[in-house]
């Protein structure tokens, strides 16, 4: 992380160590796992409960040198695939006094400082709220919370120690009253996406809910929700509320 009191941007990322772990560590681990599987292929093929027994039997029938080379090659390739996926999900946060840029893999978005009322961490997610208490961004990463806090505070952003609306969230269950019209159906669709590990679809539906004034946070595969200020203004009765 780089901090400059004269206003130079502050960059928070995993740095070279993260890339070294991804592209050095995972292929090495994969190669080691491949070597062990090749060495134990005959034993694994004899276990009645082992998966892919036919494959292990085929490897066990190869000459030792060829089996070892094949195991190491496949394991290394698997490690490289994991490294590529990890790099695509790598998050870099760049903060200055005017805006924050959030980059994940090849996708980057910017949020202007004037639009942000609060910044905080919710578990492993960096969250930015607007004046209506809706979420401008929710970016999950493994970045250091202390480094993020220092970066935002160094540039005068309104960093909070916790989610100010934590106690406002309600557990979503189908048909729950109090939601704006049509949003129960969106939450049902999003639940199906979560259950089927369709992350992109779940993120898209989160955006649809945000446009309706519903903020969503996840606890595993469970959804919790709250309303923004305008959606929950006194005197307004949400259309899905039978009362």
pLDDT tens-place string over residues 80-122: 676 555 555 678 999 999 999 999 877 899 999 999 999 999 9
3-class secondary-structure state, position 215: strand
Binned at pLDDT 50, 70 and 90, residue 205 comes out as very high
Q: What's the pLDDT at 58?
A: 64
Q: What's the pLDDT at 132?
A: 95
Mean pLDDT check: name the lowest of 5-14, 34-43, 161-170.
34-43
How far apart (Å, rounded) are the C-alpha atoms in residues 102 and 79?
27
- H or E element that contains 110: strand 107-112
State yes or no: pLDDT of 223 exceeds 70.
yes
Q: What's the pLDDT at 118?
A: 97
Answer with the residue of higher pLDDT: 163 or 233. Answer: 163
Q: What's the pLDDT at 28?
A: 77
State yes or no: pLDDT of 200 exceeds 70.
yes
End-to-end CA distance of the chain: 52
Binned at pLDDT 50, 70 and 90, residue 13 comes out as confident
Answer with the residue of higher pLDDT: 238 or 12. Answer: 12
- Please calculate the CA angle 61-64-70 and round it to the nearest 5 degrees: 85
State yes or no: pLDDT of 237 exceeds 50.
no
How far apart (Å, rounded) are the C-alpha atoms in residues 64 and 84?
30
Total-model pTM: 0.69
């Amino acid at each position: 992380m780089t901090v400059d009191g004269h206003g130079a941007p502050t960059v928070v990322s995993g740095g070279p160590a993260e890339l070294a772990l991804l592209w050095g560590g995972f292929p090495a681990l994969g190669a080691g796992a491949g070597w062990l599987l090749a060495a134990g292929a005959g034993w694994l093929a004899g276990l009645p409960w082992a998966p892919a027994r036919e494959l292990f039997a085929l490897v066990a029938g190869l000459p030792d040198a060829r089996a070892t080379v094949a195991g190491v090659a496949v394991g290394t390739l698997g490690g490289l695939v994991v490294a590529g996926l990890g790099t695509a999900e790598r998050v870099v946060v760049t903060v200055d006094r005017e805006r924050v840029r959030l980059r994940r893999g090849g996708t980057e978005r910017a949020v202007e400082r004037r639009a942000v009322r609060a910044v905080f961490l919710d578990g492993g997610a960096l969250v930015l709220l607007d004046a209506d208490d809706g979420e401008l961004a929710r970016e999950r990463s493994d970045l250091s919370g202390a480094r993020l806090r220092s970066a935002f505070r160094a540039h005068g952003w309104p960093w909070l120690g916790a989610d100010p609306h934590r106690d406002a969230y309600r557990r979503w269950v189908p048909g729950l009253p109090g939601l704006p019209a049509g949003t129960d159906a969106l939450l049902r669709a999003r639940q199906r996406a979560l259950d089927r590990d369709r992350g992109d679809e779940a993120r898209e539906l989160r955006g649809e809910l945000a446009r309706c004034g519903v903020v969503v946070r996840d606890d595993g595969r469970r959804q919790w929700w709250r309303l923004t200020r305008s959606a929950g203004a006194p005197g307004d009765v949400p259309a899905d509320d039978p009362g």
